[in-house]
Structure 1
Amino acid sequence: MSEERFPGWHGTTIVAVRKGGKVVVAGDGQVSLGQTVIKGTARKVRRIAPGGRDIVCGFAGSTADAFTLLERLERKLESAPGQLQRAAVELAKDWRMDKYLRNLEAMLIVTDGAELYVITGAGDVLEPEHDATAIGSGGNYALAAARALYQYEPDAEVIARRALEIAAEICVYTNGNMTVESISK
């Protein structure tokens, strides 16, 4: 997020874990402005269903920008039903090339239960190497925790929840009010 355009805005930790035939996306509920918590119960993980097929999305950054991107992703998925990778790449291309979209300040994690991607405004569509990924202010803490827990815990939801709890204990811009969505292949 640009510090010049959005001074002091912080918040959000989204973590996704793929294991045992399912993907779990968990997000905290905190939105902060400087040292003030503006809201503690924001819902940053959502389920969308373009063409009747469920997709779970988590977002970090500006809420309005994230919703704009989610709407665009839904349209891409309606044009290419069942092809999450294609829709994600098309969204990333538009995001990078379009003058309006280029200014949006957000990141997305998206999954259909089989594929898992991080989509950025830099034109990236990244698939995690280790079946876990995270974004946002506490993303690095949650990712480290998820990767450490991965080999010891068989359940993706337990890993995602505990990773987010650990991030909330470390990152002042992350709280323990979780939204958790699970999706299977």
Structure 2
Amino acid sequence: MTHADDSKPEAKPQADANWKIEKGRINQSVVSWCFNPMPVEELARVAAAMGLKSVELCDPKHWPMLKSLGLTCAIGSTHGFVKGWNHKENWDYCRERMTSVIEAAAAFGCPSVITFSGMKGDLNGPEGDETGKRNTVEGLKTILKLAEEKKVTMCLEMLNSRVDVEMKGHPGYQCDTIEWAADVCNRI
């Protein structure tokens, strides 16, 4: 980063167009959706030019392009956070997406895939929390064997549900504490 003259109130940080990772001792990655509406292809070209190692959470259809640029995908994108394992009516959708991406990840060399509990919906209070956990555990167990066989790690995403600000909070998301996530993982 370079900074304009700080004495001017309108001075804002500006990215140096020639900035590049120099030592490469840290494997740095960038999350694709954070840069919407920038196309993944453009983001990948910029990431490669900067010396990043990965563009993550992008659809497997982009992985061959990443490879052609010398990049990888640190974690694959599956189903979104709204429809998750906590509601049994979402299981077929989640399982279909997870199966497809786990198989693609194994073939590509992507070590992990993301998964989500889903939004609480009608699963409120202590009973709803327990039902959501139980459903998430049972649902994830239906795909666990495939992930183990393919040596792909499933990562359960914990999201902030307490802040109602775009890009910072996800009010109504069920897996919103480390205790909830750890309990699910321990039960599996």
TM-score (norm 2): 0.27
- Structure that is richer in helix per residue: 2
Higher relative contact order (CA 8 A, sep 6+): 1
- Which of 1 and 2 has greater Rg? 2
